[in-house]
Structure 1
Amino acid sequence: MAKKNLLLTLLLLIIQLAHAQNFSVQELTSGTETNLRGLSVVNDNVIWVSGSNGKVGRSTNAGKNWKWMTINGFEKAEFRDIEAFGPNTAVVMASGEPAYMLKTTDAGETWKIVFHDDRKGMFLDAIDFFTPQYGIAVGDPVNGKIFFAETRDAGDSWKQIHADTVANRPDSGEAFFAASGTNIRYFRNRRFYLVSGGRKSRLFSHNGVRPMPITQGKESAGANSIAVFDRGNMKGSSHFVVVGGDYLQDTLSTGNCFYTKNGGKTWKAPKEPPQGYKSCVEFMDKNELITCGPTGVDISFNGGRTWQKISDQGFHVCRLARFGTAVYLAGSNGRIARLAFP
């Protein structure tokens, strides 16, 4: 029986490796002086990106052509996340102190400040929307409490949510990485899943706080991104995949990825982890996932149990189209790519 199981495992591995060879990463553009960490894919054709030097990019033809813009007055801003709702409307988030969010409804011709906070220590990490109307923003702890804000009017205004009503206070040295805009996922009825890093790395959610076994204990280590397979029911989701590692040791794969199918009660490490530190992970369907980082791109075909590397190109963020099947990636030096698959 043991030999039979071993042969079956090897056969499945060979099939997955052969399948992975059919996937590739096709570069669409590069060379713009910006470090891209924000990426929002509305559909297979409409893509928005954001990054350093106050840059925002937009394509409406699947990345064939790009319109680049520098938002006036924000030439030095770090736009770490962006959420778009069509070819003309997007909300962009500027990390740092002071923190800003801006919105455009005319394809980036003009931008309106919809959020501003200049308190000491203010640093926004990510935004996520359940619908074009309902969104959430998360930031590093201020006065010992996680910063949360929500919008119910498509990002036109934001209201802070008091941290004690949605999550426990973080520990000393625990914060959140503004690496890809995917450390928080927001769903109906204020359900959210948020992963932290630093000296402690945990899963925060509407259900409380749970520990995670991902590498941690240093300011450069911990969870960077969480992917949630949403079944679309009112009971919530239970299948999560979390990636991260230590960005100062980005070639190490130990403790960089874990998955759970019971909402974080227990976690399992992949038998074959993705290679190196990873800053973003995304479900493509129930079993297929993609993850990326500075050392390359990896794919899983079995819910995160095993991973295969498909590219050595480095990227910070990868996102599936909200309405469609296309997957895009973005990273340093204005590099944007599309996942090509059979």
Structure 2
Amino acid sequence: MTMARRRRGAAVVVAGAALVLATSTEPALSAPTDPATSAASAAPATSAAPARLAWTPVATGSAQDFRGVDAVSRSVVWTGGTHGRVLRTIDAGRHWTDVRLPGAKDVYVRDIEATSARHAVVMTVPMGDAGPEGNRVYVTDDGGRTWASVLTPTDPAGYFDCMAFSTARRGYLVGDPVGGRFALFVTVDGGHRWRAADRRGMPRAAVDEFGFAAGGGCMSALGSSVWFGTGGRSPGRVYRSVDDGHAWIVRDTTIAGAFPGVLAVQFRDSLHGIAVGGDLDDLASAAHTAARTDDGGRTWHEARRQPRGPRSGAVWVPGLPVAIAVGPNGSDITLDGGRSWRPIDHAPWNTVSCSADLTCYAVGDAGLVARLRLVP
């Protein structure tokens, strides 16, 4: 028997335009309601708290721990995680194709940057006690039927953290400090060939400072500007270049703690950005987990209402001052450019991606994948 489904949504005014955050009658991913969530759900439609906003679970048939995701569109999504497993859908998650990396069973996919159903660049790190050869970048041009290994660290002590592309062809990869400065690699052909960048214009890393291969969000690139976040010291910092990675400045954020870090830094234009992170060993802490900038990263300001715990991933909804942040104890949304955050759910997420057609996908451990559809 076929039953028609009705879509329900909540209209939210964002920068003068109505945005409907749609839910459906499909099962939603959410934890038992807490008072903060109840208050948020009861807020009027023009407030920063959309009613009944929830993730819709998406079955993949996999139990992998997913750490990388890229939503090219509502229909085309790539995700990857443990044991070199990469999955791809071209029909909004109804069917998934296993396009795992060849001979890469002891690696963890930590970042995926895709431009279509055929082209994707994947970054891996070693799993457990696997050797440093697990640090690699792979590229495919045929939807994952074949993969080419195109980059490994140039120093035995190197460790890749994350990637970001400013165009379909120009991209950057940052790695932990080697010789006192963060490693930086650049591609100008869509990830097929990479070169080590000249780092003389980069400030020296602080003692014990490093990056996080948390889920591909620790770097952002727009035009000639590049940013990446770091941790290991308090507070976490963000590095910024406005000339394609030649000269850099570094600034403190407000993200702090016993084991702090900027796990994700994302910009929606050359001035407005967000940084999220915190101490992943202290899930109960809701302090110092999110910051924003309005001057390209020269100064950072703490969000007046923080996410409810450390956050490992964040993404802007393209074209809007709306962003989603996710972490091991839930997800949050900001409708005011990062000034305040409101909870969505309490599920354990690792990272998130949103497409230009206003569809977001979040992923987590044990095969957890879900979709959030935002309708203009």
2:296 aligned with 1:296, yes or no? Answer: no
Pairs within 5 Å for 1:130-279: 130-165=166-201, 167-189=202-224, 191-200=225-234, 201-206=236-241, 207-216=248-257, 218=258, 220-230=259-269, 237-279=270-312
Q: Counterpart amino acid of 2:345?
A: S
Partner of 1:53: helix, strand, or coil? Answer: coil
The residue number in structure 1 matching 2:35 is none
Change in 2 beyond 3 A, CA 1:117/1:263: closer
- Measured after TM superposition, the shift of residue 160 of structure 1 is 0.5
The two structures have a TM-score, normalised by structure 2, of 0.81
The C-alpha deviation readout for 1:301-320, integer Å capped at 9, x for no partner, is 11122211111111111111
- Measured after TM superposition, the shift of residue 17 of structure 1 is 5.8
- Measured after TM superposition, the shift of residue 264 of structure 1 is 3.1
Query: Separation in 1 of the partners of 2:312 and 2:261?
Result: 10
Equivalent pairs counted in the alignment come to 321
Query: Separation in 2 of the partners of 1:75 and 1:172?
Result: 33
2:361 to 328, 331, 339: 328
Partner of 2:349: helix, strand, or coil? Answer: coil
The C-alpha deviation readout for 1:188-230, integer Å capped at 9, x for no partner, is 23x20111111242110115111112114x4x42110112121
Query: Separation in 2 of the partners of 1:148 and 1:199?
Result: 20
- Measured after TM superposition, the shift of residue 29 of structure 1 is 2.0
Contact 2:323 2:337 in 1 (8 A): yes
Q: Counterpart amino acid of 2:145?
A: E
Partner of 1:128: helix, strand, or coil? Answer: strand
2:160 aligned with 1:119, yes or no? Answer: no
Pairs within 5 Å for 1:303-342: 303-321=337-355, 323-341=356-374
Q: Which moved more, 1:77-86 or 1:28-37?
A: 28-37
Partner of 1:24: helix, strand, or coil? Answer: coil
Unmatched tracts of structure 2, length 5 or more: 1-39, 127-131, 242-247
The C-alpha deviation readout for 1:245-285, integer Å capped at 9, x for no partner, is 10011221111111121233433222221111101111114
- Measured after TM superposition, the shift of residue 178 of structure 1 is 0.7
1:55 to 75, 85, 106: 85
Partner of 2:55: helix, strand, or coil? Answer: strand
Unmatched tracts of structure 1, length 5 or more: 1-9, 231-236
Q: Which moved more, 1:22-31 or 1:221-230?
A: 22-31
Partner of 1:95: helix, strand, or coil? Answer: strand
The residue number in structure 2 matching 1:234 is none
- Measured after TM superposition, the shift of residue 58 of structure 1 is 0.3
- Measured after TM superposition, the shift of residue 21 of structure 1 is 1.9
Contact 2:71 2:77 in 1 (8 A): yes
- Measured after TM superposition, the shift of residue 22 of structure 1 is 3.9
Query: Separation in 1 of the partners of 2:111 and 2:63?
Result: 17
2:59 aligned with 1:29, yes or no? Answer: yes
Change in 2 beyond 3 A, CA 1:240/1:332: same
2:103 to 67, 70, 73: 73
% identity of equivalent residues: 28
Query: Separation in 2 of the partners of 1:30 and 1:276?
Result: 27
2:74 aligned with 1:44, yes or no? Answer: yes
Contact 1:36 1:316 in 2 (8 A): yes
